[in-house]
Amino acid sequence: MKEIFIKQRFEVPFRYNVYFKRDLFEESNDFLRKLLESEGASRLAVVIDGGLAQAQPDLRSRIDRYFKGSFTAACIEVQGGEAVKNSWEGVEAVLKLVNEQHIDRHSYVIAIGGGAVLDMAGFAAAIAHRGVRHIRIPTTVLSQNDSGVGVKNGINYFGKKNFIGTFAPPNVVINDVTFLETLNDRDWRSGISEAIKVSLLKDPDFFEWIEENVHALNARNADVMEELIYRCAELHVEHISGQGDPFESGSSRPLDFGHWAAHKLEHVTDYTVRHGEAVAMGIALDVCYAGEIGMLSQALTDRIVRLISSLGFAVYHTDLGDENGMNPEIMHGLVEFQEHLGGVLTITLIEDVGKAVDVHEVDHDAYDRSIKKLKNRS
């Protein structure tokens, strides 16, 4: 039996649609009911973000009314925000609901809320019965244009972000811009940084479109925001399938542009800086750095940092460093980033709008100078 072995090779297809609908749980809007009926669903387990439920006190009863008579739906509320990812409690609550509601592989877990709740509920849905059907209804800008349309889920463990989780595409994503109405200004703004990021990496037209729509976005124009979300989500969705490595088995993840410093800054500030705010600063930093090392023109560097500022984002935080240069704790983020990816260091920069470049080593002095420049700008 020496030198012989059995070879296993197969491919698994994944398919899902991201719909854009308004007033999803209005009784007269039968989109979701029809979608569920067409899939033969009967039982639903609905997980609602507690923060959203507080901001929209009639949501729970609207959902109950919406499904009544058509489906056996059981709802629970879970804590909103990152806290829901810091313990097993939320996952346990969703698993319990799946068990009690007899959700099988042809019923649905529906999660409604911000990115953290979707990450947690998506993880529970992915491991219950080795994966039950799952609908994501993201209710923040950040989750509608970025995390909610992707393929990842997870919770924090041992104090480490997303230490446990899976790659598990949802069956359906539904973005309803009317959920954004009750967001505060910080959360409304936060998600825009991911749109800036993908425009810089992939789409000069989209970058210019954002520049042209700064005032409408600052004035909380829902139509404009919906278009921003659509274009950003579309680029994100294309990126996942277009790279040939949707479950990230390789080392390069170009959509992490601006993210190494952002992750670290969130941690160092104890998450008082929101993810989108940290990403805005991380982009400003890496853009400035690309300018410093002569990869990006000074005019374009200024233009990008100006756009970020004009949307109301800070481009500098004292915890990033000071006139002496970068905070060593932030700089250490590069090492951790490399360890997380488990290969050689790979940082994505841009040499023009729409032109991403991977680099594998960095000039620490140029990062120190970038910090000083951003401090002086702010």
Using the minimum distance from each CB to its own copies, give the nearer residue, 178 or 310: 178
How far is Cα 105 from Cα 135, in angstroms, rounded to an integer? 13
CB of 6 to its own copies, least distance (A): 4
Using the minimum distance from each CB to its own copies, give the nearer residue, 33 or 60: 33
Using the minimum distance from each CB to its own copies, give the nearer residue, 106 or 360: 106
How far is Cα 278 from Cα 273, in angstroms, rounded to an integer? 6
Residue of 68, 66, 157, 70 whose CA lies nearest to 112: 66
How far is Cα 213 from Cα 187, in angstroms, rounded to an integer? 18
Using the minimum distance from each CB to its own copies, give the nearer residue, 45 or 315: 45
CB of 10 to its own copies, least distance (A): 4
Q: Which residues bind its own copies (CB under 8 A)?
A: 1, 4-20, 95-96, 99, 102, 104-107, 123, 126-131, 149, 152, 154, 157-158, 160, 162-167, 169, 226-227, 230, 233-234, 237, 240-241, 246-249, 339-343
CB of 245 to its own copies, least distance (A): 9
CB of 63 to its own copies, least distance (A): 22
DSSP symbol at 167: B
Using the minimum distance from each CB to its own copies, give the nearer residue, 73 or 374: 73
Tokens encoding 68: 């009544």
Using the minimum distance from each CB to its own copies, give the nearer residue, 63 or 151: 151
CB of 325 to its own copies, least distance (A): 28
Using the minimum distance from each CB to its own copies, give the nearer residue, 206 or 367: 206
What is the residue type of 286? D
Dihedral angle over CA of 33, 179, 162, 239, nearest 10: 80
- Is there a contact between 149 and 232 (Cβ–Cβ < 8 Å)? no
CB of 166 to its own copies, least distance (A): 6
End-to-end CA distance of the chain: 70
How far is Cα 274 from Cα 267, in angstroms, rounded to an integer? 10
Kindly list the distances between the CA atom of residue 103 and the CA atoms of 120, 128, 155, 195, 296, in Å, as whole numbers in the listed order.
17, 9, 22, 36, 53
How far is Cα 237 from Cα 122, in angstroms, rounded to an integer? 17
Using the minimum distance from each CB to its own copies, give the nearer residue, 54 or 241: 241
Say how many C-beta atoms besides its own lie within 10 A of residue 245's C-beta. Answer: 13
CB of 284 to its own copies, least distance (A): 29
CB of 68 to its own copies, least distance (A): 23
Maximum separation of any 2 CA atoms in the chain, in Å: 72
How far is Cα 291 from Cα 295, in angstroms, rounded to an integer? 6
Angle subtended at Cα 42 by Cα 88 and Cα 97, rounded to the nearest 5 degrees: 15
